[in-house]
Amino acid sequence: MLNFKLLEKPLVLLFLFCLFPLGTLAQNVVRGTVIDEAGEPVIGASIQVQGAKTGAVTDFNGRFNVAANSDATLTISYVGFVTETVKVQGRNDLKITIHEDVTTLNDVVVIGYGVQKKKLVTGSTVQVKGDDIAKLSTTDAFTALQGQTPGVTILQNSGQAGEGYKVNIRGIGTTGNSDPLYVIDGVAGGSLNDLNPSDIETIDVLKDAASAAIYGARAANGVILITTRQGKAGKLQVNYDGYLGWQYLAKSPDVLDAQEYVYSRKLREFNGGAAVPEWEAKLPAEIYQKLQDGWTGTDWLDASYHKGAMTQNHSVSMFGGNDVSKFNMGVAYTKQDGILGGETQSQFERYNIRLNSSHAILRSKNKDFDVITLGENLNVNRRIRSGISQSNMYWNNVHDLLNANPLLPVYDENGNYYTNKEMAEHGWTLGSAVNPMAIAATTSQGLNESNNWNVNISGYLEIQPIKNLIFKSQFGYRFGSNSYRAMTRIHASGTNVADQDNASQQLNMWSRITFENTLTYTFDINKHNINVVAGQSIEKNGYGENLNASGNNLLFGDSWEHAYVSNAQIKKLADVSVSGTPSADNSLSSWFGRVSYNYDEKYMVQATLRADGSSNFARGHRWGVFPSASVGWVITNEKFMEKTSSWLDFFKIRASWGQNGNCNIPNFNYLTQVGFSTANSYFFGVGNHEEPTTGGSFNILGNPDLTWETSEQIDLGVDARFLGGRLGLAFDWYKKTTKDWLVSAPILGVYGIGAPYINGGDVENKGVEVAVSWNDHIGKDFRYGASVNLATNKNEVTKLANSEGIIHGPGAVWHQLEGEIYRAQVGQPIGFFYGYKTAGVFQNGQQIAEFSQRCEDKVHGGNDNLRPGDLIFVDTNGDGSIDDNDRTFIGDPHPDVTLGVNINLSYKGFDLSATGNGAFGHEILRTWANQDFLEQNLNKKIVYGSWKGEGTSNKLPIFDGFDTPNWKNMSSAMLENGDYFRIANITFGYDFKNIWKSSPLQQMRLYVAVNNLYTFTGYTGMDPEVGSDGGSGSAWAAGIDTGLYPYPRTYLVGVNLKF
């Protein structure tokens, strides 16, 4: 921000000089131009004459006139640039080049309700520039943020375009919603998915409680502030950025081919598992013959694969303005074809339109500040998505592709999908064979499309009655609409049978208003710099409606284009279903204030207080007060540090403490709720099987005492720069304690009512974050830089207020027969893997005999059943018996350490950059080997890496089938190490402006890039980045790979043009 106070007098003087152009006495007028390294004029740079009280500001052409003696010294300063000192030495028409400040010490970061110089920040925040996001050529900003924001874990739920991400700042603190709060252009509650990466100016992540505290409510999980590109005064500039990309499968899933599959059945039988099917009797003759001839069977993933599927992104933006009005507008289009899906290839398209502008309506008499400013930010987007199912193992097409039987052909000789009907006709009796291609092509698992419309608009009015006292009133409106359409054709694939076709449609619309008023005053008293903010905010959600309908028996049969509910020929009540509800209604009302103080930019103190009221709680329990405080000390500004200034440029220590709130639960939980639903109905009357009597019952016990969840955090940090600003270091230690966790913990069954939400637990997250960067240049043209960041987190549930201290995960997640495989429990991380601990595999009879001396393995049905090759389960409770009670912690899906690496080089017009990210110290459970069925495909590792005799394997047991104690019980042998490091992006570009200097364009950069080049990992699945809960519906679970759509490797070519 410009310091208006600094400019006040120079402007007045300048004004006077204009009135008296002849000048007076000893002073001359010195003229000059200020340009940046690219030769572009710098507008608004301030020029000050040392030792005098005169100064000037550059105009649109970067020009200035200032009254100065011919031997004067000028100081030229501009935000983000190194302050330059120039001696006039009698010259006139000076040409002054200023350089970008690579040390970023003077960078300005966005904090809640304002901005602050980065060097004065006392909390823990991290800023990522929009340019750094855009240059990674990703479809969305989340992927680009990976590896750039230590302490922020970003995991994709699935690699399918348009699917969501799991974002956690400094660990999970709740079993409820642990997403951070997104604030886009000052309006809370947006979604980063709505934006094209090219629209983003900066993303600022507020990690510690003190930084986030100004957003008290809902800031318990941290805050991500997004600023979209804003207008700049100056000449009109038009940019075009675009790329085309081709996508490929990054890693083969390594499943068995038909011959290997046959071998696997032999191996299984040999090891005492199920008998080898009589292939000749069970398979159609033609398939049996092909198998004899060496046929390798169906490669299902390949059958579904669209090699080289295109992705593209185009954005055009335009900005400019003058001292009164400024604007920045952009349009963007993204299209990404999926690499999987066969006939129903997944698709993603996004359109964005953005217009940001601000207008000074009234300027002060001296024209040194704007008295009234009006502005708006408008962002409209539409997203269209169709894809294949990605949920739990029963509703996951990739899961089905990975475990489909390789002996089953995709099509029969007539080109029909080989489904139950064809199997029966051809004499396939191998059982349990499902054709996943047919499922995708005939059911809503592939036949679906969703449309999303979002309009985000905010308008603001700023009134500055006296200088630096700003009243700002902002009104935000967000409108969203989703429609979803799906179809089921008449089909018979496995258990999934429909003899009537069906179309279903959903339409939801909702809106939200926010209204905020803030008063900010900034003033200095000598070296005391003070900034005060006070404000009020209200937010109301839920103006909207939802309609769902579904109908059977479609007039146009197979046609997807005609699959609308109106085309259903409804004969009976059961052929149609309709529901309509209003959007959930909730509101939030808040008051807040903040005081920031610094003395000579050396000592900083900041205090925040926010009070929030939420409609999710009963009267009397609605209000939560969230205080915070932070301090900082720039040691390098002390006199006694002068001797280190040769190598230490900047050293700041900071500390913060604060509390944030969370009220993110369904509303009305303070009341005992009555459920009415068809699921709760009964059928009375002879022959009445269609007209229910709807039941009403008390479903969930109300808890009138329900109130805010609080997250309290301590943060200690250091920011430092060394060696002329070339080496940068940021370090943070934090401890975040979530208290009065809002949780629906299980209660006893005897009361016959659903568990209430309670404020019932504490979670602790602890960790450190380190970021190191190096920026330098060799000679004039060769610039290089590298940064590495590393973050650790340790999560532990410290209290759970129900009687057993456990929140159980659901059963049938890993396979149908297994109970809970993850849970939340006191003393353990949230969502830890729960099962039997193993101590390797019995290698020989002697080992078993020794084991039998101390222990009875009841899981294997007694020690008499043990044989070499079996898993050695550990008697964790030491009672001499291995049974259910020995299940325990066997792994943690949350990484201990995350790592990001960024490297960039440039030489003249060439640029080369690489980014990578990784995570370490976590486990993954691969579930797409579905234990329920005998005739399914497997990962090769299970067959070839399992125990084959003494010394062959001490991890995977003998392969004797999936219904055996070795394989059907959740144990540490079933978990895989999830460590990985991914080379996320490599980009090489050249700006042709360097060789075609007379071009009318300012930039003509052409680049090639690879995304997701290679992943170093020992994990056997397709992608080790597993944010998914396996479709089990627990936001707090992760690391369950039910067969996730792989994140593709993409080769891109793109251009950046600036006019």
Q: Is 695 in the site for other proteins (CB under 8 A)?
A: yes
Answer yes or no: are the C-beta atoms of 638 and 710 closer than 8 Å. no
Round to whole Å and give the CA distance between 673 and 703. Answer: 10
Q: State the nearest-atom distance from the C-beta of 65 to other proteins, in Å.
A: 33
What's the CA dihedral at 353, 358, 359, 365 to 10 degrees? -170
Name which of 377, 110, 112, 109 is nearest 219 in CA terms: 112
x-marked contacts with other proteins along 784-823 as a string, rule CB under 8 A: -----------------xxxx-x-x--xx---xx-x----
In the complex, what is the shortest distance from the CB of residue 969 to other proteins, in angstroms, rounded to a whole number? 10
Among positions 640-669, residues that touch other proteins (CB under 8 A) are 667-668
Residue whose structure tokens are 């996508």: 247
Q: Which of 883, 903, 905, 948 binds other proteins (CB under 8 A)?
A: 883
Nearest-5° Cα angle at 561, 555 to 563: 45
Question: From residue 485 to residue 524, what is the string marking binding to other proteins with x (rule CB under 8 A)?
Answer: ---x-x-x-xxxxxxx-x------------x-x-x-----
**Residue 427 CB, nearest approach to other proteins (Å):** 11
From residue 461, how far is each of 111, 184, 374, 448, 473 by CA, in Å?
Answer: 19, 17, 5, 43, 5
Q: Give the E-state strand segments of 723-831 in sequence order.
A: 727-739, 742-743, 758-759, 761-778, 782-792, 794-800, 806-808, 822-825
Q: Which of 749, 779, 951, 1000 binds other proteins (CB under 8 A)?
A: 749
User: Least distance (Å) from other proteins to the CB of residue 402?
Assistant: 18
The token pair at 1047 is: 């994140």
Of 92, 289, 693, 877, the one binding other proteins by CB under 8 A: 693
* Min dist. Cβ of residue 445 to other proteins (A): 13
Contacts 24+ apart (CB under 8 A), 272-275: 272/960, 273/959, 273/960, 273/961, 273/963, 273/964, 274/934, 274/961, 274/963
- Closer of 21 and 685 to other proteins (Cβ): 685
Q: How many CB atoms lie within 10 A of CB 402?
A: 28
Q: Say how far residue 741 (Cα) sits from the centre of its chain.
A: 23
**Nearer to other proteins (CB atom), residue 518 or residue 713:** 518
Residues 181-210 contacting other proteins, CB under 8 A: none
User: Binder to other proteins among 696, 827, 845, 949 (CB under 8 A)?
Assistant: 696
What's the closest the beta carbon of residue 259 comes to other proteins, in angstroms? Answer: 22
In this chain, which of 100, 864, 884, 950 binds other proteins, going by CB under 8 A? Answer: 884
Query: Which residue of 52, 361, 463, 595 would you call a contact of other proteins, by CB under 8 A?
Result: 463
Binding of other proteins by 778 (CB under 8 A): no
Alpha-carbon distance of 710 to 763, in angstroms, equals 11
User: Which tokens go with 844?
Assistant: 């020989």
> Closer to other proteins at the Cβ: 510 or 650?
510
CB 390 within 8 A of CB 163: yes
Considering only 471, 484, 722, 1014, the residue that binds other proteins (CB under 8 A) is: 471
Q: Considering the complex, what minimum distance in angstroms separates the CB of residue 399 from other proteins?
A: 16
Alpha carbons 982 and 1045: distance in angstroms, whole number: 17
Binder among 216, 231, 436, 613 for other proteins (CB under 8 A): 613
φ, ψ of residue 291 to 5 degrees: the values are -65, -40
Q: How many CB atoms lie within 10 A of CB 413?
A: 10
Q: Return d(Cα 747, Cα 740) in angstroms, integer.
A: 17
User: Applying CB under 8 A, does 111 fall inside the site for other proteins?
Assistant: no
Which CB, 621 or 1005, lies closer to other proteins? 621
Q: Measure CA 843 to chain center.
A: 45
**Selected binder of other proteins within 85, 252, 416, 697 (CB under 8 A):** 697
Instruction: Tell me whether residue 222 or residue 965 sits nearer to other proteins (CB atom).
Output: 965
Q: Which of 276, 648, 701, 1055 binds other proteins (CB under 8 A)?
A: 701
The conformational region for residue 18 under phi > 0 = left, psi -120 to 50 = alpha, else beta, is alpha
Strands 586-599 and 603-614: antiparallel
Q: Is 835 exposed, middle or buried (0-12, 13-18, 19+ CB in 10 A)?
A: buried
Interface region with other proteins, contact rule CB under 8 A, candidates 105-113, 687-695, 981-989, 1026-1034: 687-695
CA distances from 117 to 2, 111, 113, 125, 608 (A): 12, 10, 14, 12, 18
Give the contact letters, 422-461, x = binds to other proteins (CB under 8 A), - = no.
-xx----xxxxxx---------------------------
Q: Please pick, from the candidates 70, 92, 678, 994, the single residue that binds other proteins as defined by CB under 8 A.
A: 678
CB of 426 to other proteins, least distance (A): 12
Phi, psi dihedrals of residue 433, rounded to the nearest 5°? -100, 125
In the window 372-411, what residues touch other proteins (CB under 8 A)? Answer: none
Count the residues of the shown chain that bind other proteins, applying the rule CB under 8 A.
120
Site for other proteins in 616-645 (CB under 8 A): 619, 622
Nearer to other proteins, 159 or 869 (CB): 869
Nearer to other proteins, 427 or 627 (CB): 427
> Position 1002: which residue type?
Q
Phi, psi of 976, deg, nearest 5: -120, 150
589 near other proteins, rule: CB under 8 A:
yes
Dist. CA 461–CA 464, nearest whole Å: 10
Residue 271 CB, shortest distance to other proteins, in Å, is 16
Smallest gap from Cβ 540 to other proteins, in A, equals 8
Residue 109 · residue 115 · CB < 8 Å: yes
* Minimum gap (Å) between residue 394 Cβ and other proteins: 10
- Among residues 692 and 921, whose Cβ is nearest to other proteins? 692
Q: What span, in angstroms and rounded, lies between the C-alpha atoms of 491 and 478?
A: 41
Q: Would you say 962 or 1047 has its CB closer to other proteins?
A: 962
* Residue 897: CB minimum distance to other proteins, A: 34
**Nearest to residue 554, comparing CAs of 546, 542, 562?**
562
Q: What is the DSSP letter of 402?
A: H
According to CB under 8 A, which one of 26, 525, 679, 778 is a site residue for other proteins? Answer: 679
484 binds other proteins, rule: CB under 8 A: no
Stretch 528-557 residues interacting with other proteins (CB under 8 A): 536, 538, 540, 552-553
Of 79 and 519, the one with the shorter C-beta distance to other proteins is 519
The minimum distance between CB 511 and other proteins, in angstroms, equals: 15
Window 276 to 305, contacts with other proteins (CB under 8 A): 277
Residues forming beta bridges with residue 341, ordered by sequence position = none
Answer for the pair 370, 348: CB distance below 8 angstroms, yes or no.
no
Site for other proteins in 912-931 (CB under 8 A): 931
Strand duo 181-184 + 223-228: pairing? parallel
Q: Which of residues 853-872 bind other proteins (CB under 8 A)?
A: 856, 858-859, 861
Judged by beta carbon, residue 496 or residue 1056, the one nearer other proteins is 496
Compose the 704-743 pattern: x for residues touching other proteins by CB under 8 A, - for all others.
-x--------------------------------------
Q: Which is nearer to other proteins, 191 or 589 (CB)?
A: 589
Least separation in angstroms between residue 508's CB and other proteins is: 14
Q: In whole angstroms, what is the distance from residue 509 CA to residue 548 CA? A: 12
Which residues ranging from 556 to 575 are in contact with other proteins (CB under 8 A)?
A: 571-572, 574-575
Whole-angstrom Cα distance, residue 566 to residue 549? 10
